[in-house]
């Protein structure tokens, strides 16, 4: 009797069924292991198999086996029967396709690049509550990027100081104030106090500008605490909650999607910790997959990068991430993206943030167009004339792009923008 049966999971003649999940992996076999042997192990251990032949193997098991059906160089496609997966349980999906296989000795490197989710799988998920259109109606803003900023320095302000900076941000024309990913409820800035002070400042800014204003207050904590904080936000008339979705974990984000939806709260998803697993091009999980998972679960928006700012992510990656969130259907891009039809799942906003300032706004809008959330934080608070002038300079930069004129041209009549260009020009932080 053979020791193992991994080759039973490899079939280059196999053609996937319409209701099967398809995964694209990048893989490198360990020394002495062929690509077929490695592929068999990946398909086997992420579905029904194990390292050795078994005494008893009920025939129906065959129908549950995943099949490695395409091996092109170091690129592998595997088809997974629908019956393997619990309806509506994205956490279980990760246990399968992002589980043990990443630790196999026979695989030197493995990267989960993307997955095609069939309608038969997607229909068990609700997706985003509002969709981009719903967010735009909620914010009464339809013809430009939505804008926001995090008070900087990231953490250290009292709740009152934080809210006063928020007021200046709103008065400069921005739509949102955002907590930083590491600001939750610290001794010097308690969540409850921040809600109280920001609510006061929001009402004042809305009264004085006549514009709809909002904020992404960070509720990240254990799930029960997140529920209590979401209740507080809804009670104070807010329409958003922010969650660090990677560190909070897929299970709690699923719970909070429904909880926030019932409260009428959109979810702003920060992706802190994503770079621990998506930056290495040979091992880990891509941001494409994370963005897809979060749209499926139902966040309203998630960070997708700038290509020109201080954090990693190429122009191509950023563009692909925006499509994953905004498009009804996406086509295959070799070695990067599998085709996807989202069916009734609503859209989500890409969020561009990280080292941006007014001088980089045209670069970002050239990539994204106007369908995004643009977060410029250090890039407004660092303005020579302060936060409100920095926000005004950013709005002027957006106007310049929409009018098709250069920033320098616009700055002739826009002193805040001139001030920003004077300090940063078109500097790309690194």
Please report, as ranges, the residues that interact with ligand CAP according to CB under 6 A. 150, 152, 154, 180-181, 271, 303, 305, 310-311, 353-356, 377-379
| 335 catalytic per annotation | no
Residue 15 per-residue DSSP state: -
In the structure encoding, which two tokens stand for residue 237, read together?
A: 């008339």
Q: Residue 190: name its binding partner from Mg ion, ligand CAP, none (Cβ under 5 to 8 Å by kind).
A: none
Name which of 10 and 299 has its Cβ closer to ligand CAP: 299
Name which of 85 and 349 has its Cβ closer to Mg ion: 349
Active-site residue identified among 77, 162, 268, 270: 270
| 383 catalytic per annotation | no
CB of 86 to Mg ion, least distance (A): 34
Name which of 179 and 323 has its Cβ closer to ligand CAP: 179
Q: Residue 129: name its binding partner from Mg ion, ligand CAP, none (Cβ under 5 to 8 Å by kind).
A: none
H or E stretch at 209: helix 191-209
Q: How far apart are CA 330 and CA 311, in angstroms?
A: 25
Name which of 179 and 416 has its Cβ closer to ligand CAP: 179
Residue 127 sits at the vertex; the CA angle it makes with 308 and 25, to the nearest 5 degrees, is: 60
Q: Which of residues 179-198 bind Mg ion (CB under 5 A)?
A: 180-181
CB of 179 to Mg ion, least distance (A): 9
Angstrom distances, CA of residue 350 to CA of 190, 304, 322, 323, 416: 29, 6, 5, 9, 27
Name which of 78 and 308 has its Cβ closer to ligand CAP: 308
Residue 312 preceded by cis peptide, ω within 30: no
Task: Answer left, alpha or beta for residue 216, where phi above 0 means left and psi between -120 and 50 means alpha.
Answer: beta
Q: Residue 151: name its binding partner from Mg ion, ligand CAP, none (Cβ under 5 to 8 Å by kind).
A: none
Active-site residue identified among 35, 126, 152, 428: 152
> Does residue 20 interact with Mg ion by CB under 5 A?
no
Strands (E), 251-410: 266-270, 284-285, 301-303, 329-330, 340-341, 349-353, 373-375
Number of residues forming the site for Mg ion (CB under 5 A) = 2
Q: Residue 356: name its binding partner from Mg ion, ligand CAP, none (Cβ under 5 to 8 Å by kind).
A: ligand CAP
The sheet that has 284-285: what strands, in order across it? 67-72, 75-80, 21-29, 107-116, 284-285
* Half-sphere exposure of residue 48: CA atoms within 13 angstroms, side-chain side: 23
Q: Residue 354: name its binding partner from ligand CAP, Mg ion, none (Cβ under 5 to 8 Å by kind).
A: ligand CAP
Residues that bind Mg ion (CB under 5 A): 180-181
Catalytic residues: 152, 270
């Amino acid at each position: 009797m053979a020791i193992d049966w991994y080759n039973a999971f490899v079939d280059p003649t196999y053609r996937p069924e319409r209701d099967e999940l398809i995964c694209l992996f990048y893989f490198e076999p360990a020394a002495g292991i062929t690509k077929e042997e490695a592929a068999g192990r990946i398909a086997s251990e992420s579905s029904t198999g194990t390292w050795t032949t078994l005494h008893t193997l009920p025939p129906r098991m065959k129908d549950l086996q995943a099949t490695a059906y395409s091996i092109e160089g170091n690129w592998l496609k595997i088809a997974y029967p629908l019956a393997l997966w619990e309806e509506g349980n994205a956490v279980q999906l990760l246990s399968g396709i992002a589980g043990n296989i990443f630790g196999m000795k026979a695989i030197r490197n493995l990267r989960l690049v993307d997955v095609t989710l069939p309608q038969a799988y997607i229909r068990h998920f609700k997706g985003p509550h509002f969709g981009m259109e719903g967010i735009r109606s909620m914010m009464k803003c339809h013809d430009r990027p939505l804008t926001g900023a995090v008070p900087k320095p990231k953490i250290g302000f009292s709740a009152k100081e934080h809210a006063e900076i928020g007021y200046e941000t709103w008065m400069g024309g921005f739509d949102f104030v955002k907590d930083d990913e590491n600001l939750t409820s610290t001794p010097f800035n308690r969540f409850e106090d921040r809600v109280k002070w920001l609510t006061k400042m929001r009402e004042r800014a809305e009264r004085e500008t006549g514009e709809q204003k909002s904020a992404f207050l960070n509720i990240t904590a254990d799930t029960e605490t997140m529920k209590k904080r979401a209740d507080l936000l809804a009670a104070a008339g807010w329409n958003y909650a922010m969650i660090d979705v990677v560190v909070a974990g897929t299970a709690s984000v699923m719970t909070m999607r429904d909880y926030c939806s019932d409260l009428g709260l959109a979810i702003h998803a920060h992706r802190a910790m994503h770079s621990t697993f998506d930056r290495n091009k040979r091992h880990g999980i891509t941001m494409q997959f994370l963005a897809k998972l979060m749209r499926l679960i139902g966040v309203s928006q998630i960070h997708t990068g700038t290509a020109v700012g201080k954090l990693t992510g190429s122009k191509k990656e950023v563009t692909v991430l925006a499509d994953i969130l905004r498009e009804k259907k996406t086509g295959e891009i070799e070695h990067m993206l599998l085709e996807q039809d989202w069916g009734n799942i609503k859209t989500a906003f890409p969020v561009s943030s990280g080292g941006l300032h007014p001088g980089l706004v045209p670069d970002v809008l050239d990539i994204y167009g106007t369908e995004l959330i643009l977060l410029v934080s250090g890039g407004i608070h660092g303005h020579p004339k302060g936060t409100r002038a920095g926000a005004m300079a950013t709005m002027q930069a957006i106007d310049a792009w929409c009018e098709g004129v250069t920033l320098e041209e616009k700055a002739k009549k826009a002193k805040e923008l001139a001030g920003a260009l004077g300090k940063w020009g078109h500097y790309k932080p690194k």
